[in-house]
Structure 1
Amino acid sequence: MKRSLTAVFLALLSLCLVPPLLLAGTPVELTILHMNDTHGHLLPFVEKNLSADRPVSGAAHYAALIEAERALNPDGTLLLSGGDMFQGTPISNLFRGKPMLEVMNRLDFDAMVLGNHEFDWGQETLREMIAQATFPFLSANVVDKDLSFFPDTRPYVFVTRKDITVGIIGVTTPETRVTTKPSHVENLQFLDPSQVLSSMVEGVKQQGAHLVVVLSHLGLDADMELAAKVPGIDVIVGGHSHTAVTAPVRVGRTLVVQAGYYGIYVGVLKLLVDPDSHEIVGSSQENVLRTVYAVPAAPLDEAVSKMVNTYNDKVKDEFSRKVGETLVDLVRKPYEESNFGNVICDAFLEASGAGIALQNGGGIRADILKGPITMEGVYTALPFDNLLVTMDLKGQRILDLLEKSAAMEHRILQVAGIMVVHDMQRPVGSRVKEVFVKGGMEAGVRNGGGVEEPAEAGELARGNSPPPGYLPLDPEKSYRVVTNDFLLAGGDGFDAFKEGANLVYGDTPRDAFLNFLRKHSPIKPSLENRLVFLNP
């Protein structure tokens, strides 16, 4: 009897020592780590909305966080990128994304989807980056005229963790057609993601995928629509809209996540998968973002820090140089007037001699805090190598552009030299109620202040006579307008710029702003009712 009990005890003990995966029905834990829209942010910075005294981001810090999370589940972790990783800061731009690519290679990313900004330096540079990457670039809906995928990219890959095979499909925003210079996407088509995925999801399952993850650079709203339209997607790991999704969004059986922007967060989604049915039987419900603080006590990856410093040492003297000063925070606003947009457009007027300036809000990529302005700050806020272009444009075409802007399909145009009154209860295409142009305008010194006596919004709303010094826009009159060559080419869908005449090209927007700072610092731009919204 004693020997029998001993045998039973030993048998039970042996079962306790069996790895959990060998026990029938024991869920398998997988971890999806993800980042998106880092835009070249390899160095820490202050994000005032989070903390005024604790820097965030920095490759050495998010690398340490990724490694720590991976160590918790070393055999069951995937690391994915939702795109737009490279373009946006001096340290990344000057070396055409190479520093960020080297960091991603070291961190052993499993896959990355093409974002629209991956095309900012042209197709040849993108192909060079893909060739140097140790991980696959994905996009199932970017094809050429012959419907072949973009060179050296794949529509999907398979990654196996703990005997669970994950099919990862990439999709890129069709907006890339208009959010990138046309010459940079020449001969490419951006197919409808839902149509592409309708057949591809089932296809990857037939090839052995137990789970399907869509790596998306579409934006959160589009991801949610995609989840509702296309059955069979288990997880959508997103990017493009810069949304910090703190709790996974569930649409039917699909989980949707996204990890903000600029390397401020690392997304951590944990899944429990039934090893027999391969169904997700559990997942993280909240707190799926880890904030990357770059404080002295925060973990730091020494090897990544050394990699970044190698590049930073080559540029830091030039980019730490003071180029001006601001007495107020220079703040972007995507869908309304901003003081940063105002002063940038004022700089355009001074640089060009035009009477009206129009700048796409999406071209202003970062705020600048009150105090000294460095070259790095200017470069990060205005990273694109566009050129200013001045043209003659009919008043009706200006009105068309302002109506397009008021549709809010993209960030609203920032302006100088005009005041625009919108009625947002009107249908799209008829929201611009009135436009006033500064009468007889020359490109005078504005010192970031613009109009000396801004009109009150209430006065404009009541439809009184134009503000002092302003005249109603004449649809038949030609005006001298300055913008950038991205918009000139129809970027963001502003095709009316293409009808401009007598074009004169100038400096980059960045150089125009730098010159403005040299002449007028310290600046103190304000809101001046250049963009007025009735019934918002």
Structure 2
Amino acid sequence: MEKIHIYHTNDVHSHLKSWPRARTFLQQRKQEHLDRGEACFIFDLGDFIDRADLYTEASLGRENMHLLEAAGYDAVTIGNNEGITLSKEALEALYKDVNFDVILSNLKNSDGSQPYWANPYKIYTTENGLKIGVLGATAPFYEYYEPLGWKIIEPIENMQKIAKEIEKKTDILVCLSHLGITADEQLANTIDSVDLIIGAHTHHVFENGKRVEQALLTGGGKFGTYIGHSTIEVESLSSANKKIDTELIKLDQLPHIEGETREVEALQLWGKEHLDVEVFKAGRYYNKEWKHDSHLARLFSKALLDYAQADCAFFNAGVFMTPLEKGSVTAYDLHQMLPHPINACLIEMTSEQLIQCLQEIQTHSEWPDIEVKGLGFRGRVLGKILQYDCQLVDGQLFVKGIKKELTDSIQVVTFDMFTFGWFFPELKDMKKKYLLPHFLRDILAIYGYKYFGK
């Protein structure tokens, strides 16, 4: 009887408060299993980083990789926070010379070649000769990856093809999936040889897994709340009988680690110090408001319109977390103000379609008080939807003071979070261009340097 232990984390999103406990636990467990002659692997399922965090932002996630290395991780796949919130160059630098494997089958260079820092699969061999095939895939955000210089491939068929290629070379097949629960179930239904699917992206929680066909699916929530522990028992190399179980270990129930609070605070201090770099000088104080227009919102609208070269703009006032102080403005100040991993989006629409959007803004009086979770938003409430250079007067649309006919084409810039179907469903299918790789804080930094200088 051979017993394999697999530990995993997923969707940590740079929530590092419990990281000292996680690292210590994983290091200790791995050593205990090795001392007993049992195979042990530690995997991360992606979205380990989140640029809303100071420590992550200061190094574009590179320092986070050192945390994984120190904890003894064997392999990772990437999530959308690694894949689409970094430029191509920054993503390549993220995994350069790391001491763990990056397993990723469905992200390619623009010419279709495999990135040098990733493998489409990996076969690990235990001391007793048991071969464990590991596949990895990430969610295919086509409209983001391609402008960044990547070619993203539909993951399900790709994983099916690779599984077919290697299933005869392996005794156990494991999928590292940053695809979400629906895709995980599809993988289990269509890949007969898969034994364990370690899931992420949709932040689902399976205390003891979920059986789908022959496979066991796992899910460890989000924000470093859990560590997943799966075991695979095999009677012998010649036996097809496998016993697979999984559990979730809650980090806040693990023993206190001496100095853990100071350690986590030191990471944030390191990030703050490295972001203490002047970007531009503001000539006045710009107040922020969540329920109505403000000096800061008007300044940002100019930056957004200039950056996108758009006709008009609309966005939510709740995006501003702090005001803009007079004088020196640092990268840290801008990060505190706009911590969100949100991009601008340029949408081509008709006057009639823009009128519909503006009418929806007027209709939904409850929107300013809505608490928003996800969509890249890292604030508290949505705030008032502000509009610039476009207005309705007696049902007629005016853009930059000029009356528009219903069929006129308008270039509108807003935030990508509004194109995902939640607030303005109609935007999802309109012709659009995500303006990558800059975040909102970068757009303000570019404008501030351009018009204010240092």
Q: In which range does the TM-score fall when normalised by the shorter chain? A: 0.5 to 0.7
Tell me what 1:439 maps to.
none
Counterpart amino acid of residue 202 in structure 1: K
Q: Does 1:60 align with 2:6?
A: no
Deviation at 1:385, TM superposition (A): 6.4
Q: Distance in 2 between matches of 1:308 and 1:210?
A: 40
Cα deviations across residues 245-283 of structure 1 (Å, max 9, x unaligned)? 222111110111121122121111222222244545323
- CA change 1:480–1:213 in 2 (3 A) is closer
Cα deviations across residues 494-515 of structure 1 (Å, max 9, x unaligned)? 4636499xxxx99639979xxx
Q: Distance in 1 between matches of 2:132 and 2:101?
A: 15
Deviation at 1:168, TM superposition (A): 0.6
Tell me what 2:45 maps to.
82
TM-score after normalising by structure 1: 0.58
- CA change 1:135–1:507 in 2 (3 A) is closer
Counterpart amino acid of residue 441 in structure 2: T
- Counterpart among 225, 230, 254 of residue 191 in structure 2: 230
- Counterpart among 289, 294, 303 of residue 248 in structure 2: 289
**Among the aligned pairs, what percent are the same residue?**
19
Task: Give yes or no for contact 2:229–2:249 (8 Å, CA) kept in 1.
Answer: yes
Task: Give yes or no for contact 1:357–1:416 (8 Å, CA) kept in 2.
Answer: no
What secondary structure does 1:64 align onto?
helix
Cα deviations across residues 456-478 of structure 1 (Å, max 9, x unaligned)? xxxxxxxxxxxxx9959895477
Q: Does 1:93 align with 2:57?
A: yes
Q: Does 1:384 align with 2:348?
A: no
Tell me what 1:191 maps to.
153
Tell me what 2:216 maps to.
255
- Counterpart among 325, 340, 350 of residue 394 in structure 1: 350
- Counterpart among 86, 89, 93 of residue 128 in structure 1: 93
Deviation at 1:36, TM superposition (A): 1.3
Q: Does 1:314 align with 2:247?
A: no
What secondary structure does 1:225 align onto?
helix
Task: Give yes or no for contact 2:300–2:444 (8 Å, CA) kept in 1.
Answer: no
Task: Give yes or no for contact 1:84–1:117 (8 Å, CA) kept in 2.
Answer: yes
Q: Distance in 1 between matches of 2:47 and 2:433?
A: 31
Cα deviations across residues 14-44 of structure 1 (Å, max 9, x unaligned)? xxxxxxxxxxxxx3222211111222222x2
Task: Give yes or no for contact 1:91–1:311 (8 Å, CA) kept in 2.
Answer: yes
Counterpart amino acid of residue 419 in structure 1: T
- Counterpart among 168, 172, 177 of residue 138 in structure 2: 172
Counterpart amino acid of residue 82 in structure 2: E
Q: Distance in 2 between matches of 1:147 and 1:507?
A: 31
Deviation at 1:238, TM superposition (A): 1.5
- CA change 1:242–1:479 in 2 (3 A) is same
- CA change 1:381–1:233 in 2 (3 A) is farther
- CA change 1:280–1:189 in 2 (3 A) is farther
- CA change 1:123–1:388 in 2 (3 A) is closer
Task: Give yes or no for contact 2:4–2:232 (8 Å, CA) kept in 1.
Answer: yes
- Counterpart among 1, 9, 13 of residue 39 in structure 1: 13
Identify, as 1 or 2, the structure richer in strand.
2
Aligned-residue RMSD, C-alpha: 4.7
What secondary structure does 1:245 align onto?
strand
- CA change 1:182–1:203 in 2 (3 A) is closer
Task: Give yes or no for contact 1:387–1:508 (8 Å, CA) kept in 2.
Answer: no
Q: Does 1:419 align with 2:363?
A: yes
What secondary structure does 2:218 align onto?
strand
Q: Distance in 1 between matches of 2:428 and 2:205?
A: 29
Counterpart amino acid of residue 117 in structure 2: D
Task: Give yes or no for contact 2:198–2:218 (8 Å, CA) kept in 1.
Answer: yes
- CA change 1:349–1:177 in 2 (3 A) is farther
What secondary structure does 2:8 align onto?
strand
- CA change 1:195–1:292 in 2 (3 A) is same
What secondary structure does 2:157 align onto?
helix
Within-5 A mapping of 1:17-32: 27-32=1-6
Q: Which blocks of at least 5 consecutive residues in structure 1 are unaligned?
A: 1-26, 45-57, 327-339, 367-374, 403-413, 422-446, 452-468, 513-536
Task: Give yes or no for contact 1:70–1:77 (8 Å, CA) kept in 2.
Answer: yes
What secondary structure does 1:269 align onto?
strand
Deviation at 1:448, TM superposition (A): 7.9
Q: Which blocks of at least 5 consecutive residues in structure 2 are unaligned?
A: 276-285, 306-311, 322-331, 366-380, 386-392, 398-404, 446-454
Task: Give yes or no for contact 2:8–2:45 (8 Å, CA) kept in 1.
Answer: yes
Tell me what 1:219 maps to.
180
What secondary structure does 1:270 align onto?
strand
Task: Give yes or no for contact 1:356–1:479 (8 Å, CA) kept in 2.
Answer: no
Tell me what 2:388 maps to.
none
Cα deviations across residues 358-385 of structure 1 (Å, max 9, x unaligned)? 57x9xx8x9xxxxxxxx89975983326
**Does 269-278 or 83-92 show the bigger shift?**
269-278
Counterpart amino acid of residue 40 in structure 1: S
Within-5 A mapping of 1:525-536: none
- Counterpart among 300, 303, 317 of residue 257 in structure 2: 300
Q: Distance in 2 between matches of 1:165 and 1:380?
A: 50
Q: Does 1:152 align with 2:117?
A: yes
Q: Distance in 1 between matches of 2:60 and 2:40?
A: 29
> Which aligned segments of 4 or more residues in structure 1 are displaced greater than 6 angstroms?
304-307, 323-326, 342-347, 353-356, 375-378, 477-480, 485-488, 509-512
The count of corresponding residues between Structure 1 and Structure 2 is: 374
TM-score after normalising by structure 2: 0.67
Deviation at 1:183, TM superposition (A): 2.9
Deviation at 1:241, TM superposition (A): 1.3
Task: Give yes or no for contact 1:346–1:416 (8 Å, CA) kept in 2.
Answer: no
Tell me what 1:106 maps to.
70
Deviation at 1:99, TM superposition (A): 2.3
- CA change 1:380–1:252 in 2 (3 A) is farther
Deviation at 1:196, TM superposition (A): 1.8
Tell me what 2:301 maps to.
352
Tell me what 2:415 maps to.
484
What secondary structure does 1:200 align onto?
helix
Task: Give yes or no for contact 2:146–2:152 (8 Å, CA) kept in 1.
Answer: no
Task: Give yes or no for contact 1:349–1:356 (8 Å, CA) kept in 2.
Answer: no
Q: Distance in 2 between matches of 1:220 and 1:256?
A: 9
What secondary structure does 2:12 align onto?
coil
Q: Does 1:266 align with 2:231?
A: no
What secondary structure does 1:124 align onto?
helix
